[in-house]
Amino acid sequence: MNEFLVRQSNRLPATPEGKELRQRLQPLERQRAQELRDAGILVRLWRVPGTRDSIGLYQAADATALHEALASLPMFPWMEISVEALATHPQEQRPG
């Protein structure tokens, strides 16, 4: 499995329609995120203070599998996403 650092910014409009859409999608987003956690794909999730942005640590077989997981999120069409593939640092490697 490969690890990826994913930065997500929600770009739903701050209009009454956007707020209504956010309220409707938020429970679905949380449910899908829990499913990704249960599958071992979403490992950790942090909120960026003072924003609606988040940073997640994901594990996936490859970039295509990660894309499929991210695209499955209900708010995906309104997200700005950046992905960094992670490599193990030599200090993190365990002798064996």
- Tell me, yes or no, if the pTM score tops 0.85: yes
**What is the per-residue pLDDT for 70?**
98
- All structural domains of the chain: 2-92 (3.30.70.1060)
pLDDT at 84 over 80: yes
Task: Give the whole-angstrom CA distance, residue 5 versus residue 82.
Answer: 8
Query: Region 5-29: what's the mean pLDDT?
Result: 94
Q: What is the mean pLDDT of the chain?
A: 95
Q: Token pair 């997981």 is at which residue?
A: 69
Query: Region 39-45: what's the mean pLDDT?
Result: 98
Contact predicate 12/22, CB 8 Å: yes
Instruction: State CA 28 to chain mean position distance.
Output: 14
Q: How confident is the model at residue 14 (pLDDT cuts 50, 70, 90)?
A: confident
Task: Give the whole-angstrom CA distance, residue 39 versus residue 44.
Answer: 13
Task: Give the whole-angstrom CA distance, residue 15 versus residue 5.
Answer: 30
Q: In what order do the strands lie in the sheet with 2-10?
A: 42-47, 54-60, 2-10, 79-86
Q: How confident is the model at residue 96 (pLDDT cuts 50, 70, 90)?
A: low
Helices and strands in the chain, H and E counts:
2, 4
Query: Region 23-45: what's the mean pLDDT?
Result: 97
